[in-house]
Chains A and B, each alone.
Chain A
Amino acid sequence: MNKDSVNSCIPLCRYKIRMFALIVLFTLPFLLKAQDIITLRNGKKIECKITKVDSTAVFYDFFKGDRKLSSFTALTDVQKYQLNKHEAGSAKDSLKGYPAETVVVDTSKYVKETQKWVNLLTYSQRFGVHAKGWSVQYYGYNFRNTAKWFIPVVFGFESFDIDPGYFSESGYNYANISYLNAGISPFYKMNDFLFLNLGVQLIVGEEELQDSGGKESNRSLFGISPSQGFYFIPQSKAGLALGISVYEKLMSSKVYKNDIGVKLELGIKF
């Protein structure tokens, strides 16, 4: 090729490049629009070719790098999907019945599951047949918005005065009882803030006794304390909680063998 022919080629090549650029410029929007788009509820967009939509999922093909992959996404995760109206073909056969170019998915029935750890610290006033007193409890549980039952772990301690008449039946002059209680206290969600409570706690401790002859003894103490009640627990992250329960106690104590009573509880959720 001589120098003249090279020079004459330059304007022609430039013309071709310009034409190519113009063609790309005009067709690019259409090429881009040829993609279907799935918009997920979290805002993420998937550019793809939708191949099927059924009652549970949207199936699609997409490119990851230079690899063509087929995948799907649950319809419950989809906010809307946009079908390419310019393209008719086999892929759209399964999509008949979706006349709109953009299909908004009704996900109002779908509630995304969330969870959080809830702490309750409560103070109770106890009114038992055989003893009256107070107690402090901690409840900790994993709250899931979609669940009906929650199983808090609970532990606490209490102070009480035994009814003198009941104590005198034991035949002891003096008793000092100390114990801890721990267990589970399942809540059943009745509505957003009202809960039915069915708890059971194990009691472990000891008692110091002095009989009528002045003889002192120390004993281990075991027992069980079920309770049934209703609790108001706010939906907010923090707030006041209220509860009213009936409780029962059955213990191996020599002076405080059993009890039944009502417990009024006030606490904070955090």
Chain B
Amino acid sequence: MKKIIFLWPLFLIGCTVSQKIVYKTDNITLDEPVKTIPAKVEIRILEDNRANNEENGLLFENPRQIKRDKKTICINSEKHYAKDTVITQITKLMVDHFNQAKLFERAYYNRNSESDYYLTGTLERFYGEQQFSTGAAVGAQFGLIGALATAGIKTPGEIVIELSEIKLFKKDGTLVKDFGTFYKEYTDEFKADAACWCIYWNSNEMLKDFNTHLIEKIRNDMAAVPIAGK
């Protein structure tokens, strides 16, 4: 009996499904030759300023399915991300994506002695919401057949990603380039499910698009900046 009581917290942990911020980077291909910035760059773990922005309030105070203005919506509630890992997960993705896109000679996660520059940034928003799909909910009642029939259902939603204070420094702290704030509001129809997990996956997909364009912005802004490796 004691063993059962001892193990009980493990069952409770199992009840909260943890969502990861991931997308595939190994399938990212470069359609045309790109100009790689000749710098080995640490991508420092982003600062997290989301909690200070009231527009993100919903994410921190609610479960993933909520009622707002008599409508049920799905949000990428913070409750389903492992605690304090949103910024580390996004930073790791940026590093992988930057390397795959050959943005810099080499990008490193957080700190690395091989680097000669470092990039900083602050995550202001990683916010997703979409209308709950009653169609998907009905489909879910019919098991696999219903799930198949309603697999393509989409609902209107909004995903906002904002990264501010994006700056490239030399290792000695000299500012090389201030890229400012990169912001994107995706207003579209997104894939929906009965359990409100899709909003997490949709947010990940949009993050991939966001990072793809962030890379192009950095590449474009750096075109006029003379830079040399160590």
Contacts and interface: CB of A to CB of B under 8 A. Distances in A.
Contacts of B217: 51-52, 59, 70, 72
Interface stretch (A21-29, A121-129, A146-154): A146-154
A115 B149 contact: no
A57 interface: yes
B145 A182 contact: yes
Interface stretch (B39-47, B114-122, B178-186): B178-186
Contacts of A64: 183
A140 B139 CA distance: 10
Interface string B153-181: 11000000010000000000000000111
B223 to A, nearest CB: 8
Contacts of A153: 139, 142, 145-146, 148-149
A141 B138 CA distance: 12
Interface string B136-148: 0001001001101
User: Contact size class for A?
Assistant: 20 to 34
A142 interface: yes
B164 to A, nearest CB: 9
Interface residues of B, number: 26
Given A59-B216, A117-B135, A153-B139, A69 B180 contact: yes
B213 A68 contact: no
A52 B162 CA distance: 19
Interface string A160-194: 00000000000000000000001110000000000
B101 interface: no
A170 to B, nearest CB: 32
A152 B148 CA distance: 8
Contacts of A71: 182-185
17 contacts: A57-B216, A59-B213, A61-B180, A64-B183, A70-B180, A70-B182, A71-B182, A71-B185, A94-B220, A140-B149, A142-B135, A142-B152, A151-B151, A153-B145, A153-B146, A153-B148, A184-B148
